Amino acid sequence: MLTDSSRFLQSAPYLIFFPGAAIVISAVGFNLLGDGLREALDPRLKRLGAAMSLLSIRDLVVRFRTHDGTVFAVNGVSFDLDEGETLGLVGESGCGKSVTNLALMRLLPLPAGHIDGGKVIFNGEDLLTLDESDMRDLRGKEIAMIFRIP
Ligand SMILES: Nc1ncnc2c1ncn2[C@@H]1O[C@H](COP(=O)(O)OP(=O)(O)OP(=O)(O)O)[C@@H](O)[C@H]1O
Ligand SMILES: [Mg+2]
């Protein structure tokens, strides 16, 4: 077949394009199909997903800009919280416990309070990049806060 078709290479080289494109499309298609099947069926990937925490805070940085200067309230806090788990944050007064929790719910007093870095991943979504209406849907239903001083 290759010998037969090589005769056309000189007279009509553009004919290479169609079988070539068909091969590329088939190869990419089979790869995508393989990836999809693996994602659906590979038990190792399922375990990885299950191992992901419900809430994952990474390198959270919060600052307040005040008339007296910048308050470095939270400086690179990281922790994970799994479903059904209880986590207590312990530390001296002013160390940033409340501000950490206000920040992850995006309830910092504005305009002074600023999240200057980090990630807050809840159920696989980064809460720091979620738009405000999605965040409002989440508050009270998925994540809630009981204030010490209501
Ligand atoms: N609205 C604000 N403006 C400026 N600085 C603030 C503001 N809210 C908190 N801070 C500062 O952020 C830092 C962390 O405060 P945070 O309230 O998180 O402490 P905390 O660990 O919850 O303390 P406590 O145990 O007393 O509740 C403190 O230095 C505090 O003064
Ligand atoms: Mg507090």
- Give the pLDDT confidence score for residue 38 in this predicted structure: 87
| Alpha-carbon gap, residue 129 to 138, rounded angstroms | 13
User: Would the pLDDT of 46 be above 80?
Assistant: no
Residue with the smallest CA separation from ligand 1 atom 29 is 94
For 2: left if phi > 0, alpha if psi spans -120 to 50, otherwise beta; the answer is: alpha
Q: What is the per-residue DSSP string for 77-142?
A: EEEEE-TT--------TTSSHHHHHHHHTT-PPTTTEEEEEEEEEETTEETTTS-HHHHHHHBTTT
Which residues fall within 8 angstroms of residue 58, CB to CB, at 6 or more apart? 78, 118, 119, 120, 121
The pLDDT tens digits of the residues spanning 3-27 come to 777 777 778 778 788 888 999 999 9
> Which two three-digit tokens encode residue 144?
């809630």
Strand partners, 114: 63
- Give the pLDDT confidence score for residue 45 in this predicted structure: 66
Residue with the smallest CA separation from ligand 1 atom 25 is 93
The pLDDT tens digits of the residues spanning 87-131 come to 999 999 999 999 999 999 999 999 999 999 999 999 989 999 999
Does this model's pTM top 0.75?
Answer: no
User: Would the pLDDT of 49 be above 80?
Assistant: no
**Whole-number mean pLDDT of the chain?**
89
Report the greatest alpha carbon distance in the chain: 87
User: Would the pLDDT of 42 be above 90?
Assistant: no
CB 128 within 8 A of CB 102: no
> Which two three-digit tokens encode residue 143?
């994540």
Closest ligand 1 atom, CA of 109?
1
Pocket lining for ligand 1, CB < 6 angstroms: 64, 66, 71, 73, 91, 93-99, 109, 112
| Alpha-carbon gap, residue 62 to 41, rounded angstroms | 41
